[in-house]
Each structure stands twice: as C-alpha cells, then as structure tokens.
Amino acid sequence: MHNYKVFLSVDNFRTDSDKLVFDDFTILRIKQGAQAAEWRRKFNSKKVPRHVLMKDFNNYVTDEPVSDELIDNIIEAGIWAPSGLNNQPWKFAVVRDNELKTKISTLTRYSKIILNANVLIAVLLDNSLSYDRTKDCQAIGACIQNMLLAVHSMGLGAVWLGEILKNKDKVLELIGGSNALELMAVIALGHPAEKSGKGMRKDAAQTIIFRK
Ligand SMILES: Cc1cc2nc3c(=O)[nH]c(=O)nc-3n(C[C@H](O)[C@H](O)[C@H](O)COP(=O)(O)O)c2cc1C
C-alpha cells in the first residue's frame, strides 16, 4: 500500500520550491521531461500538471485489531523467502503496545503512519547469522516483500517504513534487541480504511538498459 492516497492536479499555483511539505499534504512541482509521461498517465490527460497535491496517506487503517494468527501467517510468509546458503538471517519483533508504538513513532518523520497502525512488525537482520552483507540484505528484502504480498492477499494494508532506519539503534533499544541484531525495516499494518489508489511506476521501456 502506498503512502499517498489522493493526487490532485493544481495549475493555479506559484512557487519556486520543487516540493512544499505541509502537515497533512505535499505539493510537488512537476518538471517537464522524464517524469512527465507518468503524470500524464496518472491523470489520464495529454497535459502535464504544473503542480500536484498529494494528500498524505496517514489514516490508512482502521482500529480493528489484526489477530495474532494473521501476524503469524505474515511472518510465516516472510521466513519462506529465499536466502543465500539458506542462512535465514531474519528476526522479527511484533509491537502492539500503544506506549511503545508512541515511543517508536518519535523516531521517524512518518510518525502518523506508526501511530495509525494496528500492529508494527520490525524486521531485523541477525548479523550473527550473516555470511555476505549484500546477499543477506537481499534476502531480507525478499522476506519483507513476501510479507507484504501476504498482507495484501489477506486484504490487509501495510506500509514499508525505511526512513526510521536513521534511528535503528534507538528502535533496537526500545524493543530490547541484542547487539547482533540490526533493524532493516518496520512494517506498519492494519485493516485498510479504504481502498488505496493505484501506484505509479516508470514504463518498463524506461528501465530496460540492454536487450539483444
Ligand atoms: C526500502 C524501502 C523503504 C521505504 N521507506 C518508506 C518510508 O519510510 N515511509 C513510507 O511512507 N514509505 C516507505 N516506503 C514505501 C515506498 O514509498 C513505496 O513503495 C513507493 O512510494 C511506491 O509506492 P507503492 O509501492 O505503494 O506503489 C519504502 C519502500 C522501500 C522499498
């Protein structure tokens, strides 16, 4: 689930900034060029919008609790990810406690997403199991993506939070993890409040650099 739900084209607006961040929404200046096609497609229009207002996607879930059984199934999906030498370098911490969630929320600019979430799953790399950092990080990425796919298939909503990694040691301290553990992501999840809009991606043609 992505972090914004509403995109509005704003033409009668003047600013020299590329990005204006407000409490609850962001206004982006759209540059002509590489990204223009994406925005034209997004708005299904021939015209590239001058500015786009993005409403923050904070209240993305309801208060309805996510059961422990669902959490276990999500983690089960995660641990079936592939890993180099099958070293399975992941560990998880499940946070429901409101007081703890509040403390964790102060460690990221995405605090509202944390506070709104019903449950957090912190995904950690167990460095005592590590054999190759690049491959271990790839395995953790696969693990997280598996979890997000499971979340989606259950009709739940989640946000992959990485910005909080700037405070990974403080998060580790709050969840009482050993020194060998390293925070890789926090997944914030719950029952979706409403259906999210479509995401946005470059065309495949923009990403293929070689074909012969
Ligand atoms: C490594 C990584 C870190 C991310 N960190 C954040 C984050 O801190 N906050 C957030 O709102 N979304 C975060 N995201 C989600 C991306 O913003 C999102 O995947 C992207 O905007 C595309 O949206 P979509 O996947 O819903 O289509 C992260 C995604 C990845 C893979």
pLDDT of residue 129 exceeding 90? yes
Q: Hey, is 98 helix, strand or coil?
A: helix
User: 112 and 15 in one domain?
Assistant: no
User: 177 and 73 in one domain?
Assistant: yes
Residue 188 and residue 166: Cα distance in Å, rounded? Answer: 17
Residue 178 and residue 175: Cα distance in Å, rounded? Answer: 9
Query: What pLDDT does 107 receive?
Result: 98
| pTM assigned to the model | 0.80
Residue 30 and residue 107: Cα distance in Å, rounded? Answer: 30
User: 31 and 133 in one domain?
Assistant: no
Token look-up 């796919």 returns: 149
The enclosing domain of 132 has a CATH number of 3.40.109.10
Rounded average pLDDT over 38-66? 79
Dihedral angle over CA of 41, 43, 48, 50, nearest 10: -140
Ligand 1 proximity of 160 Cβ (cutoff 6 Å): yes
pLDDT of residue 162 exceeding 90? yes
Rounded average pLDDT over 46-70? 82
Q: Hey, is 87 helix, strand or coil?
A: coil
Residue 140 and residue 7: Cα distance in Å, rounded? Answer: 31
Domain count, the chain: 2
Q: What is the DSSP string of 143-208?
A: HHHHHHHHHHHTT-EEEEE-GGGGGHHHHHHHTT--TTEEEEEEEEEE-BSS---------GGGT-
**Does residue 16 fall inside a structural domain?**
yes
User: 161 and 75 in one domain?
Assistant: yes
pLDDT of residue 179 exceeding 70? yes
Count CB atoms within 10 A of the CB of residue 80.
12
**Does residue 63 fall inside a structural domain?**
no
- Domain range enclosing 140: 68-190
User: 128 and 42 in one domain?
Assistant: no
**Does residue 170 fall inside a structural domain?**
yes
The set of residues, in sequence order, having a beta carbon less than 8 Å from that of 72 and lying 6+ positions away, is none
Ligand 1 proximity of 110 Cβ (cutoff 6 Å): yes
Q: State in Å: Cα 212 to ligand 1 middle.
A: 32
User: 100 and 33 in one domain?
Assistant: no
User: 45 and 79 in one domain?
Assistant: no
**Does residue 51 fall inside a structural domain?**
yes
Per-residue confidence at 102, pLDDT binned at 50, 70, 90?
A: very high
User: 52 and 123 in one domain?
Assistant: no
Per-residue confidence at 31, pLDDT binned at 50, 70, 90?
A: confident
Percent of the chain topping pLDDT 70: 92
**Does residue 166 fall inside a structural domain?**
yes
Query: What pLDDT does 1 receive?
Result: 43
User: 72 and 49 in one domain?
Assistant: no
User: 50 and 81 in one domain?
Assistant: no
**Does residue 8 fall inside a structural domain?**
yes
* pLDDT averaged over every residue in the chain: 90
pLDDT of residue 199 exceeding 80? no
Query: What pLDDT does 5 receive?
Result: 55
Q: State in Å: Cα 163 to ligand 1 middle.
A: 9
**Does residue 195 fall inside a structural domain?**
no
The set of residues, in sequence order, having a beta carbon less than 8 Å from that of 210 and lying 6+ positions away, is none
Q: State in Å: Cα 88 to ligand 1 middle.
A: 23
Q: State in Å: Cα 2 to ligand 1 middle.
A: 7
Rounded average pLDDT over 11-32? 80
User: 75 and 120 in one domain?
Assistant: yes
Supply the residue whose CA is at minimum distance from atom 2 of ligand 1.
Answer: 162
Ligand 1 proximity of 3 Cβ (cutoff 6 Å): yes
Give the number of the atom of ligand 1 that is nearest the alpha carbon of residue 1. 26
> Structure tokens of 40?
């034209």
pLDDT of residue 197 exceeding 70? no
Query: Each residue of 8-19: pLDDT tens digit?
Result: 777 777 787 888
